[in-house]
Amino acid sequence: MQNKKYNLTIFIFLFSFQSFSQTIDTIITTPILKSYFSYQTHTPLFVSYFLYHGGGECSRKSMSFKTDGLNHSATSKDYSHSGYDIGHMANAEDFANDCEKEKLTFFFYNALPQRAKLNRGCWKVIETNIREESQKDSLLIICGGYQFEKQIGAILVPSYCFKIIKNFKTKAIHCYLFPNDDSNTFSEMEIAKLLKLIPFGNTISETEWDFLRCQIGTIETDETLRSQFVTLKTDETLRSQSATIEDNRGKHRKYLPYVFTEQGVAMLSAVLRSETAVKVSIQIMDAFVQMRKLVLDNAALFQRLDKIEGKQIETDQKFEQIFKALESRTEQPDKSVFFEGQVFDAYVFIADLIKKANTDIILVDNYVDETVLTLLAKRKKGATATIYTKQISQQLQLDLTKHNAQYPTITIKTLAESHDRFLILDRKEMYHIGASLKDLGKKWFAFSKMDSLTNEVLNKLK
């Protein structure tokens, strides 16, 4: 009974705990991770990524953290002589099977300041265990910090770091909380309790909150309140001491009684007149009175617990959709900017767009070479591809002939009237792209979605 009271106290404390919270100002999406970045802390609040068969042989000796030109990003100077490590959120060794992907973990939007004993101690042990688990099953990992109060340089330091690991095969969820100090300790806790501490809902915009939902976070309910005087066997019907036998079913009781109702005790006391029977009847009646008093005196508490349960159900539903959305990873931004050096990011983005098309793809681009043909070869089976370009050189014609001899046919037509690049998918979606597809990521360029003008452009192409 004392343990139950203690657990209830802890639960109410966690529920009422208010964490020092920041807001997410931008979400950085890369081929390996998603960083929820705060300009106030100059760090991510948390990072999510998927892992399967993590680990490899790539060396990280020549790799160092970069800012990637991100505003409000931390720098190496912030960490210098601070006593804090630059702690990876998405661990570099998780992607050591691909050196280019491993390099993508060395950006400050994937790091939090961590005490050395934490970063090189129990945090690293859990990272190793995660990689071992990923050899068998696919995992989703969310890690970050909360309660940002201290400051080093221009960045804020979390008082705690956390990891949430979901195994998609077994559906198991493990949650770890690490004090960001020199104790080198951690605790494992239920997902619902951890989510009470981490203000996800307060930090994510409404749009992103609709996108980020998950299927974790359930508090196990206590057992149904049972009387301290009597417990019934499961699924057996309560039978009254004074029940009446149905007609034609016999004259005698077929089942032993399990409990007396309050009214049954009153009736019994009128029949049994011995001193012992009277004392027992009085005691039982007193017990019913005390039970009613307990219910009435704690009505407000029971109502609060009902509200807590209702809110918990609502939270469960919200987070159920977070991981579904993270698992699908299908949502594409309507507009954004790629900076110099983001060659792979830009390539993957355009490739994903091409893979979306179901029936046809139209590309307007005056500078086309064999790399563009290779990109379009990623389209779905049965989807046609047409390129409009300023002129068809002998080299391009040769590349096209060789391509069409092996892969589904691509048609190239001349169009001298266009200066910009356009990518039209299924004659419904249209993207204006600031760079030729063969030069993606070499210099800054922007893109934007312009679906409302799709028909107008298609009419001009006829």
Domain residues for the domain of 287 are 226-246+256-330
Question: What's the structural domain count of the chain?
Answer: 3
Does some domain include residue 109?
yes
Strand pairing category for 360-364 and 421-425: antiparallel
Concatenated DSSP letters for 71-83?
TT---HHHHTTSS
Residues 191 and 242 in one domain: no
Does some domain include residue 9?
no
Residues 191 and 63 in one domain: yes
Task: For the full predicted model, state whether its pTM sits above 0.75.
Answer: no
- Domain final residue, candidates 293, 313, 330: 330
Does some domain include residue 43?
yes
Residues 345 and 321 in one domain: no
Does some domain include residue 7?
no
CB within 8 A of 105, min separation 6: which ones? 32, 33, 88, 90, 91, 92, 94, 95
Residues 64 and 147 in one domain: yes
Residue 165 to residue 186: CA distance in whole angstroms: 15
CATH number for position 60: 3.40.570.10
Does some domain include residue 218?
no
Q: Evaluate if residue 8 carries a pLDDT over 60.
A: no
Burial class (CB in 10 A: 0-12, 13-18, 19+), 248: exposed
Whether 410 and 399 have beta carbons less than 8 Å apart is answered as: no
- Domain final residue, candidates 184, 211, 238: 211
Reported as type and span, the H/E element at residue 387 is strand 384-389
**Mean pLDDT over all residues of the chain?**
79
Q: What is the average pLDDT across 138-143? A: 91
CB within 8 A of 404, min separation 6: which ones? 410
Q: What is the average pLDDT across 61-74? A: 85
Residues 78 and 174 in one domain: yes
Predicted local distance difference test score (pLDDT) of residue 328? 54
Predicted confidence (pLDDT) per residue in 313-326, tens digit: 888 877 777 776 66
Q: In this prediction, what percent of the chain has a pLDDT beyond 70?
A: 75
Does some domain include residue 60?
yes
Whether 21 and 40 have beta carbons less than 8 Å apart is answered as: no
Q: What is the DSSP letter of 341?
A: T
Residues 44 and 98 in one domain: yes
Residues 264 and 349 in one domain: no
Predicted confidence (pLDDT) per residue in 387-441, tens digit: 999 999 999 999 999 999 999 999 999 998 999 999 999 999 999 999 999 898 8
Residues 322 and 343 in one domain: no
Predicted confidence (pLDDT) per residue in 93-128, tens digit: 999 999 999 999 999 999 999 999 999 999 999 999
Strand pairing category for 34-38 and 26-29: antiparallel
* Backbone dihedral angles phi then psi of residue 101, each to the nearest 5 degrees: -70, -40
* Backbone dihedral angles phi then psi of residue 165, each to the nearest 5 degrees: -125, 125
Does some domain include residue 357?
yes
Report the 10 Å Cβ neighbour count for 222.
11
- Domain final residue, candidates 330, 353, 377: 330
Residues 395 and 349 in one domain: yes
Residues 443 and 360 in one domain: yes
CATH number for position 452: 3.30.870.10
Residues 107 and 162 in one domain: yes
Residue 133 to residue 135: CA distance in whole angstroms: 5
Residues 141 and 54 in one domain: yes
Does some domain include residue 251?
no
